[in-house]
Amino acid sequence: MTDRVVVITGASSGIGAALALQLGSRGERLVLGARRELELGKVASRAGVHALPVVTDVTKRKSVEHLRDVAITEFGHVDVWVNNAGRGINKAVSELTEEDVRNTVDVVLMSVLYGMQAILPHFKERGHGHIINVSSFLGRVPITSYRSIYSASKSAVNVLSANLRMELRSKYPQIHVSVIMPGIVDTPFHDIAGPPLRARAGESVWGTRIEAADEVAAKIVSLIDSPVAELYMNPEAAGRVQGYFKDVAAFEESLAKRQ
């Protein structure tokens, strides 16, 4: 067992569950947050004796703060906080309702804000720590317009993360803020967002290879071991982002021709 304590939100399935299992196999001490008590308990039991499940609603600031408090009370400190919880819907901008926007922003964006603000005082007191925000390639490039509000929320996650890095840079250089940007990942996310993803990990959709949750989790583990500001899952993603911002109109036109 290591002395490192990692908090993971959205840990009952998908990337969060895969990350819990990988870290648990290394002897990390884990505090796992999610709303679904039964599923969360199953993940915790598989992640090892040092994995603590805490029922958490990441859309509620008090619930996120409770997750932090339980972690510190149980293990004495927190080293890494992973904001992983998320949800999406398939709706174009023209179809979005106020409820669609609020529900998605609450889970995708506000949960990240609550998590960062909850753990920052603890990290500042210790002088070090690591926040990892699970974002998406869609937060940089609009390759799927029907994921409109999800993409917009992830874009905001990227910007908030960057601004927090700049805020901490001079006074707290040992508090790292990392963003990981997966592409399409084979998780239950698609069953909820709809329509279900037909292809599976290793196959391709829209010319993009589908990633497995285990692959993304392994990249997050690498971030924990060696913090960097941003990490794309797909080696080609950074180049596509650069191409998009170099000439937005041309990039969007090329996307339209493929559809």
Active site residues: 150
Tell me which residue of 105, 94, 102, 203 sits closest to 152, measured CA to CA.
105
Tell me which residue of 145, 144, 164, 140 sits closest to 83, measured CA to CA.
164
Distance CA 116, CA 85 (A): 13
Residue 72 CB contacts under 8 Å (≥ 6 apart), including other chains: 78, 122
Residue 251 CB contacts under 8 Å (≥ 6 apart), including other chains: 141, 243, 244
Helix H or strand E segment including 203: none
